[in-house]
Amino acid sequence: MQLHINNATQFLAEGMIEKYEPQVKAAQQALEDGTCAGNDFLGWLHLPSSITPEFIEEINKTADILRKECDAIVVAGIGGSYLGAKAVISALDDNFTWLKPSDSPRILFAGNNISEDYLTELINYLSGVRFGIINISKSGTTTETAITFRLLKKMCEDQRGKDKAREVIVAVTDARRGAARQCADKEGYKTFVIPDNVGGRFSVLTPVGLLPIACAGYDIAQLVKGAQDMECQCDINTPFAENPAAVYAATRNALYASGKKIEILVNYQPKLHFMSEWWKQLYGESEGKQHKGIFPASVDFSTDLHSMGQWIQDGERTIFETVISVDKANTSLIVPADEENLDGLNFLAGKHIDEVNHKAEEGTRMAHIDGGVPNLQITIPSLDAYNIGQLIYFFEKGCGISGLVLGVNPFDQPGVEAYKRNMFKLLGKPGY
């Protein structure tokens, strides 16, 4: 993975990024020393290098049981207990996996909304399907997830009988506290622990993400290896200019200070849509505090060039783009020649679709820079588990540093309680 910032620096006064170097260094040091705000939640910092082959083996073993016993696995979770697994699986899956016969169970996500229609339709689908459940909740009390688990647990027990159901229900939750822990202990489910010191949005490399990803059949050892290598690359001893997380944190803070209030994460691969959703949670929940913070937005190009492209080219100049650029497609497809050439496309005949996509990317970058939009670019060689692991750790480290430089606690989320209090009061929950 590489970060390129030259198309952003041209929008900043000379030396602006270097000006942030001391603050970035101080933030890195505070993370290492555990002296920063939110220092109870720094377990993600050296998480990749702490993951052992034995731990990966244990997760794979549980995944193998679920894969053997189930034709569908429902992952119940929301926010940090949902988006990481969804992002990685979407990035690695075939785009049309739903429509193809497969030896792998279908991985379904629920517990991330309160839609009656969604849950009814899920239950209808599952009624004839051998399914299992991974119930993911650190607090164990999140309403969306708990409602879903209550429904699915009963359905799974009705389908298989209580004893068999407990073989295909796994809980990923706190080591000691919360309703999900109590239920798992009482029922005798296999459990995995979400460490106390890892917050939800930084938990994709714990069993929260690793178990569903392994259930989908992907190589979690490679994912972790990518993250481990990025952990080394973003180490505090790496010189500033060679440390992508440090440079990213400095650049986005410099852009923010210069009036760029919105960062748009851009991809040119539909499979990366949910990486952007994961990234939005990571940065939005970490930095949006004390009435400050870059607003994280995202677009899927070239699709959204035909919708949001107008705004980005010509709208208010408060934005910058960070483009995830994948060097090479995993497959090969060439534009065919056509004798009649009625569509006028023979100028593309013989070219790879991926080449056309890259020219769209290059042309867009030039247009947006001309239009006054600073452009950061992150390149990865291809979409695979290793490179996605690199991206994950890069963004996590960049987020921790960036939030501290901004002057907020990047590891709490007090704002998300406000809606819950009102909802519970409106629903008559005891104590509200």
Which residues are designated catalytic?
A: 285, 306, 420
| Whole-number Å distance between alpha carbons of 180 and 226 | 31
User: Per the omega criterion (within 30 degrees of 0), is the bond before 102 cis?
Assistant: no
Q: Which helix (H) or strand (E) holds 173?
A: strand 169-173
Question: What are the φ/ψ torsions at residue 262 (nearest 5 degrees)?
Answer: -125, 130
User: Of 147 and 335, which CB lies nearer to ligand PA5 in the complex structure?
Assistant: 147
Is 200 a binding residue for ligand PA5 by CB under 6 A? The answer is yes
- Asked if 197 interacts with ligand PA5 (CB under 6 A), we say no
**What is the nearest approach in angstroms of ligand PA5 to the Cβ of residue 49?**
22
The answer to the question of residue 112 lying near ligand PA5 (CB under 6 A) is: no
Tokens read off for 226: 């990518």
Q: Minimum Å distance from CB 43 to ligand PA5?
A: 13
Does residue 79 touch ligand PA5 according to CB under 6 A? yes
Does position 269 interact with ligand PA5 (CB under 6 A)? The reply is: no
| Of residues 180 and 376, the one with the C-beta less far from ligand PA5 | 180
Q: How far is the CB of 282 from ligand PA5 (least distance, A)?
A: 8
Question: The tokens of 255 are what?
Answer: 């852009």
Q: Minimum distance from CB of 139 to ligand PA5 (Å)?
A: 3
Contact 105, 72 (CB under 8 A): yes
199 is a contact residue toward ligand PA5 (CB under 6 A): yes
201 binds ligand PA5 (CB under 6 A): yes
Q: Which of 7, 9, 90, 145 binds ligand PA5 (CB under 6 A)?
A: 145
Please choose, out of 72-80, 243-251, 252-260, 262-270, the segment that lies near ligand PA5 by the rule CB under 6 A: 72-80
Quick one: which segment of 56-64, 136-144, 232-240, 374-382 binds ligand PA5 (CB under 6 A)?
A: 136-144
Tokens of 257: 């200070």
- Give the shortest CB-410-to-ligand PA5 separation in angstroms: 11
Name the pairing type of β-strands 169-173 and 375-380: unpaired
Considering the complex, what minimum distance in angstroms separates the CB of residue 207 from ligand PA5?
12
Tokens 């409602």: give the residue.
Answer: 147
Side-chain half-sphere exposure of 357, counting CA atoms within 13 A: 20
**Listed ranges 12-20, 75-83, 365-373, 390-398: which one lies at the site for ligand PA5 (CB under 6 A):** 75-83
**269 touches 298 (CB < 8 A):** no
Tokens of 118: 């969604």
CB atoms within 10 A of CB 173: 28
From residue 135, alpha-carbon distances to 68, 90, 314 in Å are: 18, 19, 45
Between residues 19 and 420, which has the closer beta carbon with respect to ligand PA5? 420
**Rounded-to-integer distance, Cα 28 and Cα 234, Å:** 10
Query: Binding of ligand PA5 at residue 286 (CB under 6 A)?
Result: no
Residues that bind ligand PA5 (CB under 6 A): 78-81, 137-139, 142, 145, 199-201, 285, 413
